[in-house]
A and B are shown apart, each in its own frame.
Chain A
Amino acid sequence: MNATRPQLRPVSLRKEGDEFLLIEWSDGHVSRHTWRNLRSNCPCASCREERQRPPDPFHILKPHEIPRGPLRPVAMKPVGYYAYTIAWSDGHSTGIYTFDLLRSLCECPQCVNNSTTQSPPGSTSSFMPQS
């Protein structure tokens, strides 16, 4: 509960090829993310709602839903001292990825193994909007 204890934070962000983001944390861990996974776990209210909706087999794509080229991150900027926003090439940028969320989305082999015994990220109190 005490918020005064020293806390985990990213010390460097690195892009690896077109596909990966590497975040080095103050505890030495380097978390590995695919941009695709970050985008599909966007914590903003609209994306959460979209993910919770049952699939619609008769959905007809509207022109703006057809991606122009592959999805790319455009920028990743800190929010206060607790989170990041990622601006995407499709114009979306409302997700606020807290440090905790980013850490839980790590796809490095070690974290993936650990998380198979735990609940998937975002499953706790997922009814709460995050931003």
Chain B
Amino acid sequence: MQQKIDLPGVRHIVAVASAKGGVGKSTVTANLALALKAQGHRVGLMDADIYGPSLPQMLGVTTDEWDRTPEPVEKYGVKLMSMGLLIDPDQAAAMRGPMIHKYLQAFLTQFQWGELDFLLVDMPPGTGDAQMSLAQLVPVTGAVVVTLPQQVSVAVVRRGLAMFQTVRVPVLGLIENMSYFVADDGKRYYIFGQGGGERIARETGIPFLGSIPIDPRITESGDRGDPIVHAEPNSSIAQTYLQIAQRMKAELDRCAREVAPLPELDL
């Protein structure tokens, strides 16, 4: 089962994760991908959330846009593959762990990702099959972890960090999502509490990449299939994403670990 996959054309595989659900991983992944694209990189997006794929809708791609070829769908200059493209919207991917492993393997091997600077992988919540499979199948360069400021999220995210440590995937940084809401009076309201993301970053020594506010424009643009970094590139939110992408790349360069292939024995 642990067949290692070689993706010679892909420079960095970055997992976007958080052990907790509902923190906005897919929204962050889509916008981060478009930020990297805007900075001139070749970017692929792989939706590892087999049960609840949301990237196709966020990028405005429907099932009939994939022509059943081994080519990922391209949207806004970013290559995408997702379970959401393989099955109808009213169909459920009802399957157990080993099938998740097979689908991830297929996404990685049967699609021609070509030459990419970044393959961002939108992870499902949890520390289960998809996470273990990805870490076992490909040399993941690093993970970006998304959290909410609230303690409940921080506590679960801690478990996610521990998992990455177990499988030795470097954590490139933390992104705090839904950090605050700016009301009409210009005042910031910290709806989910304040500073949880920065606190855990400080405690664990993991770089803090940035905070993203709660803003209806983010949700609306995602629902419309045109994420805010692409739809409103001059907005302050898009600028925040560009900064986050910049910091993530700096961290990648800094901690670019020796990816010397591990020795093996054939007897």
Q: Chain A interface (Cβ within 8 Å of chain B)?
A: 1-4, 6-7, 9-13, 15, 21, 72-85, 96, 98-99
Report the interface size class on chain B.
35 or more
Interface of A is mostly: strand
Establish whether residues A10 and B262, one from each chain, have CB atoms under 8 Å apart when the complex forms: yes
Please provide the 7 A-B residue pairs with the shortest distance between their CB atoms, ordered closest to farther: A2-B205, A82-B168, A78-B262, A76-B265, A3-B165, A1-B204, A4-B170
Residue contact B265 to A13, C-beta cutoff 8 Å: yes
B202 CB to nearest A CB, Å: 11
On whether A80 and B135 interact (CB within 8 A), knowing A4-B172, A12-B263, the answer reads yes
Name the residue on B nearest A8 (C-beta).
B168
Is B265's CB under 8 angstroms from A4's CB? no
Interchain CB contact (< 8 A) of B263 among A1, A2, A4, A11: A11
Q: Are A1 and B2 in contact (CB under 8 A)?
A: no
- CB distance A15 to B267 under 8 Å? yes
- Interface flag for B60 (CB, 8 Å): no
| A9 to B258 Cα, complex, angstroms | 10
- Which A residue sits closest to B168, measured CB to CB? A82
- Chain A residues with CB under 8 A of B167: 80-83
A36 to chain B, nearest CB (A): 15
Q: Given A3-B164, A7-B168, A80-B140, 13 more contacts at CB 8 Å?
A: A2-B205, A3-B165, A4-B142, A4-B172, A4-B206, A4-B251, A75-B264, A77-B265, A80-B168, A81-B139, A81-B168, A83-B167, A96-B2
Residues of B within 8 A of A78 (CB): 4, 262-264
**A96 CB contacts on chain B under 8 angstroms:** 2
Question: Which residues of the other chain, A, contact B161 by a CB distance below 8 angstroms?
Answer: 1, 3
Q: Which of B189-205 contact A (CB under 8 A)?
A: 203-205
In the assembled complex, how far is the CB of residue A30 from the closest CB belonging to chain B, in whole angstroms?
A: 13
B264 to chain A: which residues have CB within 8 Å?
A: 13, 75-78
Known: A1-B205, A3-B164, A3-B165. A82 touches B2 (CB 8 A): no
